[in-house]
Amino acid sequence: MEEVPREAPRSPAAEALAEAAAETIVTVDSPASMQELGRRIAGLLRPGDLVLLTGELGAGKTTLTRGLGEGLGVRGAVTSPTFVIARVHPSLGDGPPLVHVDAYRLGGGLEEMEDLDLDVSLPESVVVVEWGDGKVEELSDDRLHVVIGRAVGHEEVLDDVREVALRGVGARWSGAELAALTGAAGR
């Protein structure tokens, strides 16, 4: 009997490395460029997509979401939902609604988020969660992680310049053309 070679199980470190290889980095140089990147990302989104946004205060998470809303063609001005926790922006056309969540003030994990009924909204909407890392991943095996950081150059922080790292997780994103977004905005 011939022994069939099997793929060795991957360690968590190897899995992280494999996921990191699929990461796309986009540099944006202004709030307008961040909003344009959001419009471009919206072209890749469909109902049921979960997008997690991570970045310090003032990094551009809401500005990116504003662009997502424009690209999806939703009603209403997209503003930070910090004090209302979540806002639903219905579609003005045949696209999905945008559910914009700010999990900053929510300390717990999915338990606190359950009151928002995101699991009910997810199948027909695009759900964007600011500060969602470690809180809502259980909602979907497939999600887009977006991490926004201030760019540093020559020992100084470049005010409007941001490095945006996009990483798709799960089968939904395995063939996604995130690399096409590198020409979306910036320098």
- Please give the pLDDT value at position 23: 86
CATH number at residue 83: 3.40.50.300
pLDDT of residue 5: 38
Instruction: Report pTM.
Output: 0.78
Kindly state whether residue 121 falls inside one of the protein's structural domains: yes
- Residue 97 within any structural domain of the chain: yes
pLDDT at 183: 65
pLDDT at 187: 41
* Model pLDDT, residue 3: 41
Distance CA 35, CA 48 (A): 22
In a domain, 59, yes or no: yes
- Strands 24-28 and 156-169, sheet pairing: antiparallel
pLDDT at 123: 81
Q: Tell me whether residue 11 is in a domain.
A: no
- What's the longest Cα–Cα distance across the chain? 66
Asked if residue 53 belongs to a domain, the reply is yes
Start-to-end Cα distance in the chain? 59
Q: Is residue 18 domain-resident?
A: no
Residue 178 confidence (pLDDT) = 83
Q: Quick check: is 132 in a domain?
A: yes
pLDDT along the chain (187 residues), means of 10: 41 43 84 96 93 92 95 88 73 91 68 54 85 80 92 65 92 81 58
In a domain, 149, yes or no: yes
pLDDT at 114: 53
- Residue range(s) defining the domain that contains residue 102: 25-183
Helix axes 61-72, 31-42, angle to 10 degrees: 40
Number of independent structural domains in the chain: 1
Backbone phi and psi for residue 102, each to the nearest 5 degrees, phi listed first: -115, 105
Tokens representing 129 are: 């969660």
Other beta carbons within 10 angstroms of residue 138's beta carbon come to: 10
Of residues 167, 146, 143, the one with CA closest to residue 23: 167
For residue 111, the model assigns a pLDDT of: 56
